[in-house]
Structure 1
Amino acid sequence: MLEGEPAKAIAEVAAKVAEHRPKHVVFVGRGTSDHAALYGAYLTEIRLGIPVGLASPSAITLYGARPDLAGALVVGVSQSGGSPDLTEVLKVARESGALTLAVTNNPASTLATTAELSVDVAAGHERAVAATKTYTAELLALLLLVEGIRNGDGTPAAEEREALAKLPELAERTLGEHGADELAQRYRFASRLVTTGRGYAYPTARETALKLMETSYLPALAFSGADLLHGPLAMTDPDVPVVAVVGSGPGGSSMADVVTRLGERRADVVTIGAHDIAGASGRLAVPEVDERYAPLLDILPLQKLALSLALARGEDPDAPRGLKKVTATL
């Protein structure tokens, strides 16, 4: 996706959005794609300086609300593009005068054809029922889109393209690490778990919790680092493992204090990042990159953890209970 037709297609869409100059942006998604949308929200507010909201589909589909979204960019993010509620949000948004954009792995889907603009994440067939590669592809598509809008002509700036070109090699190196397999044995008999991160890392914490619940049936609560300190910190103790995503930049710096506070409670904390953090008892190593690129790498050892933990607990991650590739909700 970093080059060739998919990148050109994203650049064309980014240029059209930049020309439109939206006053605010609304993202909508479900499950894994909702976490990708949250990453897009952080990118948009930080990199573009445009206010962002996350839509509540049920306000439209269940309660019949018709919000005035004139002047907004409304972005639906869905691996399959087959969620009726997301499609309805884009339909209503378009009728009210919004510019609508679908980010999917299926350019022929209902969501993609409902929106005025469409981005194909070009991940190919997603074999995992608990989506993995499509999540990473959604993150990358949103990153390219936002940086293209920021640069005005649809393509990321030269320094951005240089940094992005290094990501595939860094991802391969990250996947070669074996710490997740060892950590799975440590968490094999855990009864619950907490994930946490701030800023760009918060979507990773939420996606990790979802993957653990989907594949290992392990109750997992995701908190932003700030929210964790506002009360939930009290539930942490040596018997509640905590996975903390700690990258570089402001988000990572703020998380160092969170890890220290967790350490004071003798919590079993494992961090995801490039450096050891005081108070943590272990770390899953990832290369150090700019904080806004880190979610594309940080999720990889955590997806491996979900896989290894499911197998260690005697479950089948290829056939998780009650989960389908397309979940239709209204």
Structure 2
Amino acid sequence: MSERGQGMAADIAEQPAGYARLLDDEHATAIAEVAAQVAARRPRHVVFVGRGTSDHAALYAAYLTEIRLGLPVASASPSAITLFGARPDLSDALVIGVSQSGGSPDLTAVLDVARASGALTLAVTNNPSSPLATSAELSIDVAAGHERAVAATKTYTAELLALLLLIEGVRAGDGRLPAEERAAIAALPELAEKTLADDGVTELARRYRFAARMVTTGRGYAYPTARETALKLMETSYLPSLAFSGADLLHGPLAMTDPDVPVLAVVGSGPGGQSMRDVVTRLGERRADVVTVGAEDVPGAAGRLAVPAVDEKYAPLLDILPLQKLALALALTRGEDPDAPRGLKKVTETI
């Protein structure tokens, strides 16, 4: 590989080790203790706040919260607080700020206002000494380590795993996951290593070198993966990419798909994956160039990026890995530097 992209490649390769680190006794115990405190407070609803990649991690956690905990979820609008002076009553809520750097003033402002109104506040960051972490009542360190490239990869998956452990710990009540679930999650580092060993993206990157736009899609737990993939493609290759839930894609946007618009469809197991099979069929009827991400071939797709078969709620930790590699390979094929995309900084401060 050329010098360009080496940072992003190294970050991607470190993710299995990052999973293992979060699952070691020290970090898993710390997250379990936070989960137990959250469970003891018995919040009536959960509000997430994040930007960019971290917002996609929060979206994954929102699905987990509604499906696994049965609690209603909302996404905070930071500008309502920072620009318009709103002071919502969040006294019965758990408010979770998700940020790699923890340095965004608007996210910190949301947690400050929430805590002042009586909410339980929690920061999930890669910087435990950041303003976001210090403003929150509770915090979780995702322990991803220094990220070399501007485009986030290993911090994203570290956030996913930390949020998974948190929410499943809250569901358990005392933070301690059932033995069967602990075993399933403990297998993720090895499965991630296996996923990254597959180099099916090289030919796909050459195939999409001159694409003018792309579509990504998934449903349920897979929808955040579709959104994060679109962001990575735009950040690293400057390729206009639209992300849709599988259901929304059929409500109008389907009309723009044709053989010249590549579609990356995340198709896993369970109800979300079964629904996406129907979406791929509809795309195939329009002769769209569809590549799926999943454990099995899907009728109507022209190709597949392979990932191991796992329970649908764990799949986002594996599905994103070949898509990160594709974003890297495509950027290099198009002559770009994915480590330092033009106009971007690692920490974006907004108010």
So what's the TM-score if we normalise by structure 2?
A: 0.94
CA distance in 2, matches of 1:138, 1:67: 26
Letter in 1 for 2:316: P
Q: Which whole-Å deviations, capped at 9, do the CAs of 1:108-136 have from their partners, x for residues lacking one?
A: 00000000000000111111210100000
Q: Which residue, 24, 43, 47 being the options, matches 1:26? A: 47
CA distance in 2, matches of 1:100, 1:312: 43
Q: Which residue, 169, 181, 186 being the options, matches 1:160? A: 181
Count of aligned positions? 330
SS of equivalent residue, structure 1 residue 123: coil
Q: Residue 255 in 1 paired to residue 281 in 2?
A: no
Partner residue in 2 for 1:148: 169
By how many angstroms is 1:180 displaced?
Answer: 1.2
Partner residue in 2 for 1:228: 249
Q: Residue 118 in 1 paired to residue 136 in 2?
A: no
CA distance in 2, matches of 1:322, 1:259: 35
CA distance in 1, matches of 2:78, 2:267: 31
Q: Do the aligned partners of 1:147 and 1:157 also contact (CA within 8 Å) in 2? A: no
Partner residue in 2 for 1:76: 97
Q: Which residue, 232, 244, 261 being the options, matches 1:211? A: 232
Mind listing any 5+ residue stretches in structure 2 that lack a counterpart? 1-21
Partner residue in 1 for 2:130: 109
So what's the TM-score if we normalise by structure 1?
A: 0.99
Q: Do the aligned partners of 1:196 and 1:202 also contact (CA within 8 Å) in 2? A: yes
Partner residue in 1 for 2:306: 285
Partner residue in 2 for 1:272: 293
Percent sequence identity over aligned pairs = 83
CA distance in 1, matches of 2:270, 2:170: 23
Q: Do the aligned partners of 1:188 and 1:309 also contact (CA within 8 Å) in 2? A: yes
Q: Following superposition, which runs of at least 4 residues in structure 1 exceed 6 angstroms of deviation?
A: none
By how many angstroms is 1:3 displaced?
Answer: 2.0
What aligned pairs does 1:309-324 form with structure 2 within 5 A after superposition?
309-324=330-345
Q: Residue 128 in 1 paired to residue 167 in 2?
A: no
Partner residue in 2 for 1:183: 204
> Which structure carries more relative contact order (alpha carbon 8 Å, separation 6+)?
2
By how many angstroms is 1:191 displaced?
Answer: 0.2
Letter in 2 for 1:296: L
By how many angstroms is 1:212 displaced?
Answer: 0.2
Q: Do the aligned partners of 1:144 and 1:155 also contact (CA within 8 Å) in 2? A: no
SS of equivalent residue, structure 1 residue 322: coil
Partner residue in 1 for 2:57: 36
CA distance in 2, matches of 1:292, 1:2: 17
CA distance in 2, matches of 1:156, 1:148: 6
* Alignment RMSD: 0.5
Q: Residue 14 in 1 paired to residue 35 in 2?
A: yes
Q: Which residue, 74, 80, 83 being the options, matches 1:59? A: 80
Letter in 1 for 2:36: A
Q: Which whole-Å deviations, capped at 9, do the CAs of 1:237-286 have from their partners, x for residues lacking one?
A: 00000000000000000000000000000000000000001110000000
SS of equivalent residue, structure 2 residue 140: strand
Partner residue in 1 for 2:158: 137
Letter in 2 for 1:119: I
CA distance in 1, matches of 2:329, 2:316: 20
CA distance in 2, matches of 1:327, 1:318: 16
